Amino acid sequence: MKKLILIFALLLFASKGWVYSEIDSEEAESKATYKGPYDDETSGQRDARMAWWREARFGLFIHWGVYSVPAGTHKGEQIENIGEWIMHYGQIPVAEYQRYSKQFNPVDYDPEAWVLMAKNAGMKYIVITAKHHDGFALFDTAVSEWDIVDATPYGKDLLKPLAEAARKHDIKLGLYYSHAQDWVHPGGSFWDGHGWDPAQNGSMDDYLRDIAVPQVKELFTNYGEISILWWDTPIDMTPARAAMFDGLVELQPGIIVNNRLLYRHDGDLRTPEQNVPPTGLDYDWEACMTMNTTWGYKSYDDDWKSSEQLIRNLVDSASKGGNYLLNVGPMANGEIPQASIERLKDVGEWMSVNSSSIYGTTASPFIRLPWGRATKKEYPNATELYLHVFDWPEDGLLKVDGLRSEVSGAYFLADFQQQIQVNKTQEGIVLVLPDKPLDEIDTVIVLKITGKLDVERILPRQDGEGVLVLAMDDAHIHNPGYGGRLELRQDDNSTFYLDGWTDFQSRVDWLVRIDKPGIFDIYAEVAAEESASFLLMANDGQKPLTIKSSGGKQTFQTQHIGQLILSEGESTIGMHPQMSLWNPIMLRSVTLKPAENNPH
Ligand code: GLC
């Protein structure tokens, strides 16, 4: 079957330049042979099951395990990369790594304090690593000695008291479980296909049957209600292997499962890592992020994001319709780094005033607001629109272009008394604000809207000469549910550019409005070490184009890459990489100039 699909796909690829052929064949196969636990659910049942999670919008991720002992340093050498991967990046033999567990003694662990820290930050749920890729269980497992009870001086289950504290304080508990990668139990899979110690050799099917499946069963049986199962890195998982976990989800009725059990199986939610995806996606997602640059504790990683950044990331996620799962990496003694505690306190202060602009909200109705973000709550005959002002207007006039609805009231969440004047204009509305923000990070203004919400779609347009600039911060970035990490960055001059475009499955689209149609020359400002081919999608047609090497992966150059025809009206222009012809690029701008041969 697989072969047949592949041949068919290759034929299509040869004849039409079809890009996603191979992926689609795999997808077709895994969809055909793997049946997820909720595949037969109706959308109403699904909405009911997801309701608490969509309402919550904000959760705490905890990466904790034996890796917090070396904390980024092995045999005196600082090991690069994320801390919980130290065994892999340091190629530490199994027995040597296991010795670290003798120093894993979290006597200062205070699960109730952890739960309260999350709750006071405004978080509604916690997801903790029951077992990470190093195979170590934070819980008492009967199927392995490699757990907190048998392998450490501490000797007590860490999940039990956390589950109790969470229940006591009405916080939902989710469990992260690395089901495929396991670097200690023989047979677990590896990122690059192979281990580094003969002790790791074994059959993956045996490992799944003897370790992973029984452990998930233990987790679902011994800790009361579990609300989320957060699978991770489905390396070497096949539909048949995924099916070995069949029947377990039923032990926790209504549990939410993420998309990482099996590649290209969506689960209930997708999990963009370290980035916030674009708005308007028609599925549930949760952006998980670190506060510094590691998930598991590293003693010397002081690259902390500011509280401002974290609050704005939370708002950004909500404004795009998703959840924000923010990580802490506790130390081996059970303490959470002070820098994390302080930041969560700051987030909590902001949330104590503004949480109604986050909980239960849905995505912004605006395509783009130059000064910040918006979230909303819709009711049958009214809407509450929350304007999140990141950049306070210098002249005190906040323009909300495109808002056509009747605004019946406007107030600050931080001060209900202060008046805000609302003026209607040609473009939308303008709010007259005080000189200074009420909150430097994000002042939230509530607009009460009666009747139907009416927001005009304001799209990038051509200038007087007919030139259309596709700005990078207007780009809708699509990353595959798991894999690529194309993202928007800003350089030292605050110029936006796209970076991390390593995966051919990542793509970008711009929604534009064309007033002066015709033929356009396409100029791209790019940095590319090697040539990269993509399909340019416009007006429902597609055209293969190639970016040439610019002479280096950091060297920007403006290139004429071809022409396209655009007709009048709203249009989506997309750059979709071609599978085997794609190489990483950085992109600073795309400009469309009316061509000389333009008949208009
Ligand atoms: C990754 C990493 C991992 C981390 C996780 C968080 O897949 O392997 O260490 O736990 O993502 O999203």
pLDDT computed for residue 11 by the predictor: 33
What are the residues facing 140 on neighbouring strands? none
Could you tell me which of 259, 261, 305 has the C-alpha nearest to residue 283? 259
Percent above pLDDT 70 for the chain = 93
- Region 145-170: what's the mean pLDDT? 98
pLDDT computed for residue 598 by the predictor: 64
Q: Bigger pLDDT: 235 or 599?
A: 235
| CATH topology classification for 2-357 | TIM Barrel (3.20.20)
- Can you tell me whether residue 399 is helix, strand or coil? strand
Q: What is the 3-state secondary structure (H, E, C) of 267-280?
A: CCEECCECCCCCCC
Confidence of residue 265 (pLDDT cuts 50, 70, 90): confident
- Can you tell me whether residue 355 is helix, strand or coil? helix
For ligand 1, the distance from its centroid to the CA atom of residue 523, given in whole angstroms, is: 37
Residues 302-319: pLDDT tens digits?
999 999 999 999 999 999
- Region 147-153: what's the mean pLDDT? 98
pLDDT computed for residue 31 by the predictor: 52
Residues 165-180: pLDDT tens digits?
999 999 999 999 999 9
- Region 437-460: what's the mean pLDDT? 95
Nearest-atom index, ligand 1, CA of 82: 9
Residue 68 identity (one-letter amino acid):
S
Q: Is the pLDDT of residue 43 over 60?
A: yes
Structure tokens at 537: 């999608």
| Probe residue for ligand 1, chosen from 273, 275, 294, 323 as the CB with the greatest number of ligand atoms within 8 Å | 273
DSSP string for 205-260: HHHIIIIIHHHHHHHHHHSS---EEEE---TT--HHHHHTTTTSGGGSTT-EEBS-
Q: Bigger pLDDT: 33 or 129?
A: 129
* Size of the chain in residues: 600
Q: How far is 65 from 416, CA to CA, in rounded Å?
A: 46
Nearest-atom index, ligand 1, CA of 129: 10
Q: Is the pLDDT of residue 298 over 70?
A: yes
pLDDT computed for residue 461 by the predictor: 93
Provide CB contacts within 8 A for 279, sequence distance 6+. 319, 320, 321, 363, 364, 476
List the end-to-end C-alpha distance of the chain, in Å, as a whole number.
51
Residues 372-386: pLDDT tens digits?
999 999 999 999 999
Pocket of ligand 1 (CB under 6 A): 63, 82, 84-85, 232-233, 273, 288, 295
- Can you tell me whether residue 60 is helix, strand or coil? strand
Give the E-state strand segments of 296-379 in sequence order.
323-328, 372-379
Residues 179-190: pLDDT tens digits?
999 999 999 999
Confidence of residue 513 (pLDDT cuts 50, 70, 90): very high
pLDDT computed for residue 451 by the predictor: 87
Question: Which CATH code fits 372-450?
Answer: 2.60.40.1180
Residues 408-447: pLDDT tens digits?
999 999 999 998 999 999 999 999 999 999 999 999 999 9
Q: Is the pLDDT of residue 30 over 60?
A: no
- Mode of pairing for the β-strands spanning 58-62 and 125-131: parallel
> Angle CA(470)–CA(361)–CA(412) in degrees, nearest 5?
90
Structure tokens at 154: 């501490």
> Angle CA(364)–CA(367)–CA(373) in degrees, nearest 5?
45
For ligand 1, the distance from its centroid to the CA atom of residue 84, given in whole angstroms, is: 9
- Can you tell me whether residue 501 is helix, strand or coil? strand
DSSP string for 71-106: TTEETTEEPPS-GGGHHHHTT--HHHHHGGGGG---
Q: Is the pLDDT of residue 538 over 60?
A: yes
Domain ranges, ordered by start, for the chain: 2-357, 372-450, 468-594
Q: How far is 188 from 186, CA to CA, in rounded Å?
A: 6
At the fourth CATH level, which superfamily is domain 468-594?
A: Galactose-binding domain-like (2.60.120.260)
For ligand 1, the distance from its centroid to the CA atom of residue 232, given in whole angstroms, is: 7
For ligand 1, the distance from its centroid to the CA atom of residue 72, given in whole angstroms, is: 16
Q: Is the pLDDT of residue 22 over 50?
A: no
Residue 41 identity (one-letter amino acid):
E
Average pLDDT, the chain: 92
Q: What's the pTM?
A: 0.86
18 DSSP assignment: -
Q: Are 387 and 354 in contact (CB under 8 A)?
A: no
